């Protein structure tokens, strides 16, 4: 299975190794990051992307940074203050996906809760263990949500997905694509329709690539064809990932997701969101509070190296949009499936896990 983020440490070096997703599918190349600054740059430039994957990359970046501080002879206190600043650099890299700040805070918290008198080495190793735990847990969460969600997908027909919520965007297996993969493993035989996902083409470049490698039938469509395919009766449900889910169930995800949700409602088609509990942000009460990242104009005015819009054109390029909870049929999480009213269900999965009704 493809691994978007890896961590390597030996006696002389510690580094984060990122599969360069900008080069896919034509080239499989890797970028090495030694610490927080270069990992933050890689996150901004989308060498690594997808909410869980950027969290994992940031967690490993802190582990690598801690190891380098250790080599410089820093005390535990110096290491902690350096790592707190490094965490801020990482969190600033992209604002919308909550997993990034969540992972950084979790690794820092593991260091802060080291027993009194711990050495710098104890602190650094603890951070490294926490980063690895975040990575491994993400894969486990994806498998769990896939088991819950697979039964919601149709036996035949078409399933629409947007952007890339696959192994590339996570610790492995994927969220929305994990559910699709599991559905295939249990014998369902629908066709996946992958939106190309303007402007950076995560659907065309990444989702199509992942599904073709697995032998799952995938049809590439332009973003603007989705509603028409629904009208033709070729799509039985849509399933997407999420960058942040507010306490009321509003969902931030790749730009274009909202249009899909509205089209699903207009055609009476279920619209599912698959996301680990680390993407649920109970501190954000609704989607209105979510900061939507705006990216550079050149992502829209150029295609590859070719200019496709007039010089001087004004551009608005939000990377994400907010789908109001009322358009979401169900949120598939690692703890179970949550239906409306989402505020109640989401609180339950984060607080009282064992009382969630995992059935449809």
Q: Which residue is nearest to ligand MRU (CB)?
A: 241
Tell me the Ramachandran region of residue 233: left when phi exceeds 0, alpha when psi lies from -120 to 50, beta otherwise: left
Asked if 261 touches ligand MRU (CB under 6 A), the answer is no
Of positions 135, 138, 243, 281, contacts ligand MRU by CB under 6 A: 243
Look at residue 121 and give its three-state secondary structure.
Answer: helix
d(CA 231, CA 163): 21
Of positions 110, 175, 263, 323, contacts ligand MRU by CB under 6 A: 175
Q: Which long-range contacts (CB under 8 A, 24 or more apart) does 281-284 make?
A: 281/98, 281/102, 281/244, 281/245, 281/246, 281/247, 282/247, 282/346, 282/347, 282/350, 283/247, 284/98, 284/244, 284/246, 284/247
Instruction: State which of positions 273-292 bind ligand MRU (CB under 6 A).
Output: none
Quick one: 47 or 127, whose CB is closer to ligand MRU?
Answer: 47
Give the residue among 233, 156, 232 at the shortest CA–CA distance from 190.
156
Quick one: 74 or 263, whose CB is closer to ligand MRU?
Answer: 263
136 Cβ contact list (under 8 Å, min separation 6): 171
Please give the full DSSP string across 54-70, using - where no structure is assigned. HHHHHHHHHHHHHHHHH
Quick one: 126 or 205, whose CB is closer to ligand MRU?
Answer: 205
Asked if 95 touches ligand MRU (CB under 6 A), the answer is no
Asked if 51 touches ligand MRU (CB under 6 A), the answer is yes
Asked if 123 touches ligand MRU (CB under 6 A), the answer is no
Quick one: 236 or 257, whose CB is closer to ligand MRU?
Answer: 257
Of positions 35, 52, 203, 249, contacts ligand MRU by CB under 6 A: 52
Of positions 198, 244, 254, 335, contacts ligand MRU by CB under 6 A: 254
The one segment of 5-13, 107-115, 121-129, 168-176 that binds ligand MRU by CB under 6 A: 168-176
Quick one: 183 or 240, whose CB is closer to ligand MRU?
Answer: 240
The one segment of 43-51, 145-153, 217-225, 333-341 that binds ligand MRU by CB under 6 A: 43-51
Quick one: 245 or 356, whose CB is closer to ligand MRU?
Answer: 245
The one segment of 102-110, 216-224, 239-247, 333-341 that binds ligand MRU by CB under 6 A: 239-247
Of positions 50, 87, 203, 336, contacts ligand MRU by CB under 6 A: 50
Residues found in the chain: 360
Distance in Å, CB of 256 to ligand MRU, minimum = 9
Catalytic residues: 243
Asked if 253 touches ligand MRU (CB under 6 A), the answer is yes
Of positions 163, 204, 290, 330, contacts ligand MRU by CB under 6 A: 163
Of positions 14, 97, 226, 356, contacts ligand MRU by CB under 6 A: 97
Strands 271-274 and 237-240: parallel
CB 191 within 8 A of CB 25: no
Question: Where would I find the H helices in 45-119?
Answer: 51-71, 76-91, 98-112
Q: Provide the CB-side half-sphere exposure for 4 (13 A, CA).
A: 36
Look at residue 302 and give its three-state secondary structure.
Answer: strand
DSSP run (H or E) holding 136: helix 120-150
b vs e for 3-39, b when ≥16 Cβ sit within 10 Å of the residue's Cβ? bbbbbeeeeeebbbbbbbbeebeeeeeebebbbbebb
CB 31 within 8 A of CB 6: no
The one segment of 222-230, 238-246, 323-331, 338-346 that binds ligand MRU by CB under 6 A: 238-246
Number of residues that bind ligand MRU (CB under 6 A): 18
**Binding residues vs ligand MRU (CB under 6 A):** 49-52, 97, 163, 165, 169-170, 175, 202, 240-243, 253-254, 319
């Amino acid at each position: 299975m493809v691994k978007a983020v890896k961590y390597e440490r030996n006696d002389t070096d510690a580094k984060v190794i990122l599969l360069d997703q900008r080069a896919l599918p034509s080239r499989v190349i890797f970028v090495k990051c030694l610490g927080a600054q270069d990992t933050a740059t890689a996150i901004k430039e989308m060498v690594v992307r997808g909410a869980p994957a950027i969290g994992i990359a940031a967690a490993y970046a802190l582990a690598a940074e801690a190891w380098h501080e250790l080599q410089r002879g820093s005390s535990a206190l110096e290491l902690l203050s350096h790592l707190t600043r490094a965490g801020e650099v990482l969190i600033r890299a992209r604002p919308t996906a909550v997993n990034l700040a969540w992972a950084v805070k979790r690794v820092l918290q593991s260091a802060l809760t080291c027993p009194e008198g711990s050495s710098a080495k104890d602190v650094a190793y603890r951070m490294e263990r926490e980063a690895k735990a975040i990575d491994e847990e993400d894969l486990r969460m994806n498998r769990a949500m896939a088991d819950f969600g697979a039964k919601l997908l149709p036996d035949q027909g078409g399933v629409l997905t947007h952007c890339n919520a696959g192994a590339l965007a996570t610790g492995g297996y994927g969220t929305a694509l994990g559910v699709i993969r599991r559905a295939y493993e249990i014998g369902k035989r629908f066709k996946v329709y992958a939106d190309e996902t303007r402007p950076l083409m995560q659907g065309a470049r990444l989702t199509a690539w992942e599904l073709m490698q697995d032998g799952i039938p995938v049809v590439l469509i332009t973003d603007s064809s989705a509603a028409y395919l629904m009208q033709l009766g070729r799509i039985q449900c849509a399933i997407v990932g999420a960058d942040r889910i507010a306490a009321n169930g509003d969902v931030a995800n790749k730009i274009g997701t909202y249009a899909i949700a509205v089209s699903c409602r207009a055609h009476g088609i279920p619209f599912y969101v698959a996301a680990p509990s680390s993407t649920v942000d109970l501190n954000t009460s609704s989607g209105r509070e979510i900061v939507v990242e705006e990216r550079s104009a050149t992502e829209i005015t150029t295609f590859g190296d070719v200019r496709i819009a007039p010089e001087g054109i004004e551009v608005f390029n939000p990377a994400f949009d907010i789908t109001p909870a009322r358009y979401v049929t169900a949120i598939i999480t690692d703890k179970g499936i949550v239906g409306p009213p989402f505020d109640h269900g989401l609180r339950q999965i984060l607080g009282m896990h064992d009382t969630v009704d995992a059935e449809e």
